[in-house]
Amino acid sequence: MGPRTREFLRISNPVRQSVLGDRIGVADTTLTRFVGLMGRGSLAPGHGLLIRPSNGVHTLWMRFSIDVLLLDRDYRVLSAYGDLRPFRVTTINWKAASALELPAGTIASTNTQLGDQLQLARLAL
């Protein structure tokens, strides 16, 4: 058995022919969902965090702004929050299955819109 690799996701928006990130981590345990991006100083372009399950997020104890997309089970965009500053919260969307946290400005630069269906691909690094 080879060395353990860390998996990331590449998340794209085929409708807009754009890539939201190619180093998207996954937070799918109680601990990783709770910690999220807290403690980081920034989020580099192309990086992000997919939190599942999640129907809303907060930016409490964060030091930088982020973009947030709330997604349904099929990764369709239900809600979008651009430039969510520290110590803010999104509204709860009961239809959401996951939240995608991205560098501030990603939603605008990729022209991602409500209803867009995102595509996920696993990457091993």
Each residue of 52-72: b (16+ CB within 10 Å) or e? Answer: eebbbbebeebeebbbbbbbe
CATH classification of 7-124 is 2.60.120.1140, yes or no? yes
DSSP classification of residue 118: P
Low-confidence ranges of the chain (pLDDT < 70): 1-6, 124-125
Distance CA 62, CA 39 (A): 7
pLDDT digits (tens, 9 = 90+) for 46-74: 999 999 999 999 888 888 999 999 999 99
Domain positions in the chain are 7-124
β-strand partners of 79: 70
Average pLDDT of the chain, as a whole number? 90
Query: What is the sign of the dihedral through the CA atoms of 55, 58, 62 and 66?
Result: positive
